[in-house]
Structure 1
Amino acid sequence: MRVVMFGYQTWGHRTLQALLDSDHEVVMVVTHPRSEHAYEKIWSDSVADLAADHGVPVVIRNRPDDEELLTLLKEADPDIIVANNWRTWIPPRVYSLPRRGTLNVHDSLLPKYAGFSPLIWALINGEQEVGVTAHMMNEELDAGDIVAQRAVPVGPSDTATDLFHKTVDLIAPVTIGALDLIASGQTEFTRQDRSRATFFHKRAEDDIRIDWNWPAEDLERLIRAQSAPYPAAFTHHRGKRLEVLGAVVSQNRYGGTPGRIFYREGDGVVIVAGADARTGRNHGLAITRVRTDDGRELPATEYFTSMGGYLTTHP
C-alpha cells in the first residue's frame, strides 16, 4: 500500500523504520518541528532525518490543518495514513482522505490510557501489563476500532525507561501486522469498550511533585515512573528542592505525620507516608538516593545526617 506517515520522536522514528523495511511504499512523511519541551526532548530520534536519508518527502507542521498540506496529501495519493506520536488533532478531512483511512499506533492497551504519557501513568497506577495498540482513527482521540494489540508484563522493579524499551520493540510487529490485515481486505475490527476508557493529560511539573499523603506503595512507583532520562520526582527539604532518585517501600510500619524524616532502615531513610499515617498501619517510603538542588547525587543515608524534620510538597 501507499503510506503517508505522521509521527514524531522515537515512536514515530520506529514506525517509519518499520514501514521502510516492509513491502509497503512510504510516499510522504509529516512530522513536528523540534521542541524544547522537557518531555519532547526525551526519546527524540528524528523522523525528518530518517525520511530524508531514504529520499522520502518531508513536511514539517505543528498542526495538520492547512490547505497546502491537504493539497500535498491529495497529490501523494495514499492508500492509508499511519500515525504514531502525532501530538495535535488530525481533522476528519485529513484522516478520512486515504482510501483505507488512518491507522493510529498508541503505546497503551486501549481503551485504557488514551492520551498522553500512558506508560508513566500506567506504572504509577500499578498496572500489571502495558502494550501497543494499532487502531483506526475516528473523530474521538484514541477511540477507533482496534486492528492489532500486543502486551508485555510490568516487572516489580521496572522503571518507565524499562517499559519504554519493552513497548517500543512492539511498534514494528503491531504496525506491520495491522497494515497486512488491512491490505488483505479486512474491514471489520474490534470495537473499543468505551465504558472502560480512560484519558490522561500531558505530564508537567506538578505531576512529579511528591505528595506525602500518597501511600508509600504509590510513591515508590512514582519514583520508578520518573526514572532517567525523565525528570525525577521531587520534594522539598528545608526550603530547597530535593529530587528522589531511588526508593523502596519500608519493611516495617511507621506512624505519625506524612513527610516526617523518621528512621534509618537498611540502605534507606524512611519517610512517613499516607494520609492516614497517624494510625500506624502504613509502610513508609525508604529513600535510598537523592539529588540536591545543586546537582549532587548521593545516598540518602549520607544526605540525611540526622533524623527529624519534614519533607514538604512546597518550599
Structure 2
Amino acid sequence: MRTVFIGCVQFSCEMLDTLLTVKEAEVVGVITRKQSQFNTDFASLEPLAKKNRIPCLFAEEVSHNDLVCWLEELKPDIIYCLGWSYLLKQEILQIPKLGVIGYHPAALPQNRGRHPIIWALAMGLTETASTFFFMDEGADSGDIVSQIMLPIEDQDNARTLYDKLTLIAKKQIIEFTPRIAAGSFERIPQNHSVANYWRKRGKKDGIIDWRMSAKSIHNLVRALTKPYIGAHCVFEESEIKIWRTEVILDNSSKNIEPGKVLEIEGGYIFVKCGEGTLKIIEHDFQILPQKGCYL
C-alpha cells in the first residue's frame, strides 16, 4: 500500500517511526516543515525520512499546486496526516484512492477543534480518546476508523497525557493499517448532532487569575505544562511561568484575599486562591516572592 505521511510534531515522528514497521505500508513520501512558530512540540520529519531514504518535501517551500503535483506523481493509495495544524484542501483529499487518515486526541464526535489535550485538562475532564478518522473538508468530522477511550487521571498533565495517547495511537496504527490494506476495515460515521468544537486558545487563556479556585488553577497549569507554553502570572511586571502545582484544601485562610503569598517553604510557594490554597512546586521565579506579598 503506497503511503504518504504528513506531519510536523513529536507525535508525528512517533507515528511515522511506527508506521515504518508495518509491512503493509510502503512509505513513498513525507511532507513536513522546517520550522513552526506555533507548534511548541514541533519536530521536523526530515531526519527520519532521510534515514529511511524517503523523498521529503517541505510544505513552506512550495506552492499548493506544486505540492498537489508532487503527490499525484507519487500515486499514493493512502495518506496519513498526523500532527498537522492545517486543513487539507479537496485537491489533496481526493488524490489517494483509499483516502486520508487524520488523528484527533478526543472522543469524536465530541470535542472537535483546537487544542484537545489542553482543553481536556483545563476543563477537568476525566476521560478522552485516541481517534483515527478519514479526513474530509470539515474539521475532525470524517468517518472513524479506530477509537480507544482513555481515562484522565488526577495526576496527569499535558506531558503524561500526550505520552499516553501516543502509546495508544502506536498500537492502533499497527492494528488498523493492515486492515485498510486488506480492505477489511469499517468506516463509522460520526453523529454530527452531538458534536461540539473547541476554539483556538490564545495567550490570555494561560493567565492565572488567583480569584479562581485552586483546583481550576491547578487544572490550567497541568494543561499548559511542557511540551506546551506554560500557564503564567505577572509579578512585578514580569511574566512568570508556573509548571507544576498541588491543591491544598485549607479553610484557615478563608478571610485572606486571593493572590496573597501565605508561606514560602523549601522553595515552594503557597498562594491563597478564590477557593483553597495552591502550592507552587515548579516555576520560573528567579527570586522568590516574600511572604505576604501578592501575585
What TM-score do you get using the length of structure 1 for normalisation? 0.82
Q: Superposed, which structure 2 residues align to 1:281-292 within 5 Å?
A: 282-292=275-285
2:260 is matched with 261
Q: Superposed, which structure 2 residues align to 1:14-163 within 5 Å?
A: 14-23=14-23, 24-35=25-36, 37=37, 39-42=38-41, 44-62=42-60, 66-163=64-161
Say which is worse superposed, 126-135 or 105-114, in terms of deviation.
105-114
Question: Could you give the per-residue CA deviations for residues 84-140 of structure 1, whole angstroms, max 9, x where no partner exists?
Answer: 011212011211221111111222232233233211211111121333211011121
CA distance in 1, matches of 2:54, 2:276: 55
Question: Could you give the per-residue CA deviations for residues 227-251 of structure 1, whole angstroms, max 9, x where no partner exists?
Answer: 2343321112343333323322222
Q: Secondary structure at the match of 1:221?
A: helix
| Aligned partners of 1:271 and 1:287 also within 8 Å | no
Q: What amino acid is the match of 1:305?
A: Q
Question: Could you give the per-residue CA deviations for residues 161-216 of structure 1, whole angstroms, max 9, x where no partner exists?
Answer: 11111111122222232322322324642222223333234443222111223222
**2:39 is equivalent to residue 2 of structure 1:** no
Question: Could you give the per-residue CA deviations for residues 264-296 of structure 1, whole angstroms, max 9, x where no partner exists?
Answer: 4986423232xxxxxxxx32333344322xxx2
Say which is worse superposed, 113-122 or 4-13, in terms of deviation.
113-122
Structure-2 change in CA distance of 1:137 and 1:65 (3 Å) = farther
| Aligned partners of 2:77 and 2:99 also within 8 Å | yes
Shift, 1:219, TM fit: 0.6
CA distance in 2, matches of 1:100, 1:65: 25
Q: What amino acid is the match of 1:287?
A: I
CA distance in 1, matches of 2:283, 2:17: 38
CA distance in 2, matches of 1:10, 1:290: 24
- Unmatched 5+ stretches in structure 1: 274-281, 298-302
Say which is worse superposed, 170-179 or 24-33, in terms of deviation.
170-179
Q: What amino acid is the match of 1:269?
A: F
CA distance in 1, matches of 2:141, 2:188: 11
- Unmatched 5+ stretches in structure 2: none
Q: Superposed, which structure 2 residues align to 1:163-174 within 5 Å?
A: 163-174=161-172
Q: How many residues matched?
A: 291
Q: What amino acid is the match of 2:39?
A: E
CA distance in 1, matches of 2:112, 2:6: 18
Q: What amino acid is the match of 1:255?
A: K
CA distance in 1, matches of 2:181, 2:27: 14
Q: Superposed, which structure 2 residues align to 1:215-294 within 5 Å?
A: 215-253=213-251, 254-255=253-254, 259-261=258-260, 263-264=262-263, 268-273=269-274, 282-292=275-285
Structure-2 change in CA distance of 1:18 and 1:245 (3 Å) = closer
CA distance in 1, matches of 2:202, 2:32: 23
Q: Secondary structure at the match of 2:234?
A: strand
CA distance in 2, matches of 1:225, 1:85: 18
| Aligned partners of 1:244 and 1:291 also within 8 Å | yes
Shift, 1:33, TM fit: 2.7
CA distance in 2, matches of 1:99, 1:271: 58
Q: What amino acid is the match of 1:259?
A: P
Structure-2 change in CA distance of 1:246 and 1:259 (3 Å) = same
CA RMSD of superposed structures (Å): 2.5
Q: Secondary structure at the match of 1:50?
A: helix
1:310 is matched with 294
Q: Secondary structure at the match of 2:39?
A: helix
Q: What amino acid is the match of 1:12?
A: S
Q: What amino acid is the match of 1:170?
A: I
Quote the sequence identity (%).
27
CA distance in 1, matches of 2:230, 2:185: 44
